[in-house]
Chain A
Amino acid sequence: MIDWSGYIGLILEGAWVTVQLTLMGSALAVVVAFAAGLGRVSRFMAVRALATTYIEFFRGTSIFVQLFWVYFVLPFAGITLTPLQAGVLALGLNVGAYGAEVVRGAVKAIGREQREACIALNLSRFQAMRHIILPQALPLMLPTFGNNAIELLKGTAVVSLISLTDMTFQAQVVRAQTGSTLIPFATILVLYFVMAWLISLGMRWLERRVTRGLDGVRA
């Protein structure tokens, strides 16, 4: 009989790496999503073109290819990243591109009359965005952001292929050492599912939080 406690510890260590990756990747993704999403509705052609290129490029290739490119090709350009940095960078930029479309869609969805009211009140473009448009657009973005965060969590499994010791990598280690396949893989499947469930709980809480006081305002 195998003593499982050590192996479960190994998988939990990996789970912590997965959690870190998810959190840091999401943080980067949110920043990038807003930058690129607002860039796409910019007044300036050059900014719009740059944002569109970024979004199409990262949505057009998969996270796996991007990760390998960041990890194996960038070193030849003199940029060497640790697996964790490469993972966060690739995940953040990839999911950020999807998030950017969400930001753009939500900002576009705010009615004309709101923009006209901003002009009538003589608000600057920044003020209008900051105080009128974004507070209303944010609740529209959150449900999709939640889905994107879960996609990012699922994407973290791929980093195991560049030898980052996340949950999937540790499960492979356990499989190699014990020869048992069912227990490590079933364990991590359940752990991933629990994490995804926690993310959707958290997003639902956040949604209630930001829509507070907006009842009746939104159609």
Chain B
Amino acid sequence: MEWDWEFVRQIMPTLIEGLQITILATILGAAVAAVIGLIFAILRMVAPAPIARTTSFAVEFIRGTPLLVQLYFIFYVLPDIGIRLPALLAGVIGLGIHYGTYAAEVYRAGIENVPRGQWEAAKATNLTARHTWVHVILPQAIPPMIPALANYLIAMFKETPLLSAITVLELMNQAKSIANSNYRYIEPMTLVGVFFLIMSLISVFFLRWLEERYARVDER
């Protein structure tokens, strides 16, 4: 079967429509992940031991199981207990929780990498807890986190095709429905691959720039 540019032109609008949903899901998922990651990180660091341990286990569990199954769980099991979510929302929550566990690790590492001396100096200069965090710890902890977080953002973007399994009409699902109704797989599937490749090559360059900009703070 030959590559058909006419067919490509025909299906492009539908694919672009799917791409918009893909990007929307990525952005919303990233926002949820950033918040959930923060909650996990705080619970693991400052909550009483039993809660901290439970959170650690939950994080390990979520990281050790496939996102696809978690999506099925949210989409199929929750309605049984009365929580019926639209597909896109279920997908965003799934992405957010899954990548939140990764974000939690990044937050924790970032905060723990601030040298002890900084905490002690803050105490010695009689700063309040709020001032210590806002003016001493976070300004040093956040810049090294940015490239790592961006890395997971790219990873999450690449995982969004999984949302097609719970009927979200994103890029992959649009491509599949085009392929199934025309019985032409080459163009839609290849184009999906090309779209993702272009997006992630662009984001790799962006990531390199972020790394140069933020990763080496202590070398100043």
Of the residues B72, B176, B200, contact of A185 by C-beta under 8 Å: B72
User: When chains A and B are docked, how far (Å) is the Cα of A53 from the Cα of B220?
Assistant: 35
Of the residues A61, A66, A154, A175, contact of B76 by C-beta under 8 Å: A175
Main secondary structure of the interface of A (DSSP, over half): helix
Q: Say yes or no for B66: interface residue by CB 8 A criterion.
A: yes
Interface residues of B in 47-101 (CB under 8 A from A): 60-61, 63-70, 72-73, 76-77, 79-80
Q: What string of 1s and 0s marks CB contacts (under 8 Å) between A158-179 and chain B?
A: 1011000000100110010000
A65 touches B67 (CB 8 A): no
Of the residues B186, B189, B200, contact of A60 by C-beta under 8 Å: B200
A158 touches B68 (CB 8 A): yes
Binds A, one of B12-20, B112-120, B191-199: B191-199
B-side contacts of A69, CB under 8 Å = 189-190, 193
Of the residues B64, B76, B159, B185, contact of A62 by C-beta under 8 Å: B159
Contact status of A60 and B197, CB under 8 A, knowing A76-B1, A76-B186, A168-B72: yes
A-side contacts of B64, CB under 8 Å = 150, 154, 192-193, 196-197
A171 touches B201 (CB 8 A): no
User: When chains A and B are docked, how far (Å) is the Cα of A172 from the Cα of B75?
Assistant: 12
Contact status of A168 and B69, CB under 8 A, knowing A62-B161, A65-B172: yes
Q: What string of 1s and 0s marks CB contacts (under 8 Å) between B159-177 and chain A?
A: 1011001000000100010
A73 touches B69 (CB 8 A): no
Interface residues of A in 62-107 (CB under 8 A from B): 62, 64-66, 68-69, 72-73, 76
Chain A, interface residues (CB within 8 Å), range: 35 or more
Q: Say yes or no for B158: interface residue by CB 8 A criterion.
A: yes
In the complex, residue of chain B having the shortest beta-carbon distance to the beta carbon of A167: B69
Of the residues A57, A62, A189, A196, contact of B158 by C-beta under 8 Å: A62
Chain A: minimal CB distance from B186 (Å): 5
B-side contacts of A68, CB under 8 Å = 172, 176, 189, 192
Residue among A61, A185, A188, A192 with max Cβ neighbours from chain B (10 Å): A61
Of the residues A60, A153, A154, A155, contact of B196 by C-beta under 8 Å: A60
Residue among A65, A72, A156, A193 with max Cβ neighbours from chain B (10 Å): A65
A72 touches B179 (CB 8 A): yes
A189 touches B162 (CB 8 A): no
A189 touches B189 (CB 8 A): no
B201 touches A60 (CB 8 A): yes
Contact status of A181 and B76, CB under 8 A, knowing A60-B201, A68-B189, A72-B179: yes
Q: Say yes or no for B204: interface residue by CB 8 A criterion.
A: yes
Chain B: minimal CB distance from A190 (Å): 9
User: When chains A and B are docked, how far (Å) is the Cα of A60 from the Cα of B194?
Assistant: 9
A-side contacts of B77, CB under 8 Å = 181-182, 185-186
Q: Say yes or no for A118: interface residue by CB 8 A criterion.
A: no
A168 touches B197 (CB 8 A): no
A-side contacts of B161, CB under 8 Å = 62, 64-65
Contact status of A62 and B67, CB under 8 A, knowing A76-B186, A171-B72, A185-B77: no
In order of increasing CB-CB distance, the 9 nearest A-B pairs are A196-B64, A157-B66, A62-B158, A72-B185, A60-B200, A154-B66, A64-B161, A157-B68, A192-B65
19 CB-based A-B contacts, threshold 8 Å = A56-B201, A57-B197, A60-B196, A60-B197, A61-B158, A62-B161, A62-B196, A65-B172, A73-B186, A76-B1, A157-B68, A160-B68, A175-B76, A186-B73, A189-B65, A189-B69, A192-B64, A193-B64, A197-B64
| Interface residues of B, Cβ cutoff 8 Å to A | 1, 60-61, 63-70, 72-73, 76-77, 79-80, 158-159, 161-162, 165, 172, 176, 179, 185-186, 189-190, 192-193, 196-197, 200-201, 204
With A154-B66, A196-B63 given, can you name 5 additional A-B contacts, CB distance below 8 Å? Answer: A62-B161, A64-B159, A72-B189, A175-B76, A181-B76
| Interface residues of A, Cβ cutoff 8 Å to B | 56-57, 59-62, 64-66, 68-69, 72-73, 76, 150, 153-158, 160-161, 168, 171-172, 175, 181-182, 185-186, 188-189, 192-193, 196-197
